[in-house]
């Protein structure tokens, strides 16, 4: 199955927001989908206009099949002591079920990391949850290390980080504004 990875554009915002919200509802059915998410409400300012924001999409046959993004980290977890590096938070990774287990998520992150490095980002932060199958292990394979696991019995929020510049980040497939691939 062929796909194209490319940066989000203004005209794609409504479709991206719908896709992300549908994925969020599947991953987190306990959350109220009617509560607006600030980054999605302010998509243009957060991901397209901000120097520490970037959003990638993957399409196949005109259909949106996966997303990933980063946004400026807001230091809302001061106990993590991430320092004063230029830090972004990796967010909104969602791959349609038919496209999972084929390497698309890894390719999306590799391209996101390449863009972050070009933008002068120094460090990635993210958090995930053990109840999302394979999430912690996926991010470890991308070079992230564990910072903290919260004691909350439901969420067990798992905080992870990685330096942006990582020698294992492939650059050879990035072609201008998009990448073509097979899953």
101/95 Cα distance (integer angstroms): 10
The Cα-based distances of 88 to 9, 141, 170 in angstroms read: 20, 19, 19
Bridge partners of residue 124, in order along the sequence: 88, 162
CATH assignment of 2-176? Answer: 3.40.630.30
Q: Is 24 exposed, middle or buried (0-12, 13-18, 19+ CB in 10 A)?
A: middle
The per-residue pLDDT string of the chain (183 residues; one tens digit each, 9 = 90 and over) reads 788 999 999 999 999 999 999 888 787 777 888 888 999 999 999 999 999 999 999 999 999 999 999 999 998 888 888 888 899 999 999 998 887 887 899 999 999 999 999 999 999 999 998 878 789 999 999 999 999 888 988 888 899 999 998 655 454 444 444 555 555
The helix/strand/coil state of 132 is coil
Q: Are the beta carbons of 2 and 180 closer than 8 angstroms?
A: yes
Contacts of 151 (CB under 8 A, 6+ apart): none
CA distance 77 to 64: 32
The answer to whether 73 touches 89, Cβ cutoff 8 Å, is yes
pTM of the model: 0.87
The rounded Cα 157 to chain-centroid distance in angstroms is 16
Domain coordinates in residue numbering, the chain: 2-176
CA distance 89 to 69: 8
Query: Could you tell me where the beta strands, DSSP code E, fall in 25-151?
Result: 54-60, 63-72, 87-95, 123-128, 145-149
């Amino acid at each position: 199955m062929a796909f194209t990875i490319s940066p989000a554009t203004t005209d794609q915002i409504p479709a991206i927001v719908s896709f992300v919200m549908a994925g969020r509802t599947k991953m987190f059915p306990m959350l109220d989908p009617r509560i607006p998410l600030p980054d999605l409400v302010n998509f243009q300012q957060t991901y397209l206009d901000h120097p520490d924001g970037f959003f990638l999409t993957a399409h196949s046959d005109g259909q949106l099949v996966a997303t990933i993004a980063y946004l400026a980290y807001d230091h809302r977890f001061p106990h993590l002591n991430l320092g004063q590096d230029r830090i972004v938070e990796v967010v909104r990774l969602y791959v349609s079920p038919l496209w999972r287990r084929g390497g698309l998520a890894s390719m999306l992150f590799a391209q996101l990391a390449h863009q972050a490095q070009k933008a002068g980002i120094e460090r990635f932060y993210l958090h995930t949850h053990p109840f999302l199958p394979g999430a912690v292990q996926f991010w470890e394979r991308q070079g992230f290390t564990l910072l903290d696991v919260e004691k909350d019995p439901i969420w067990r929020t798992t905080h992870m980080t990685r330096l942006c510049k990582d020698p294992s980040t492939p650059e050879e497939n990035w072609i201008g504004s998009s990448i073509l691939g097979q899953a």
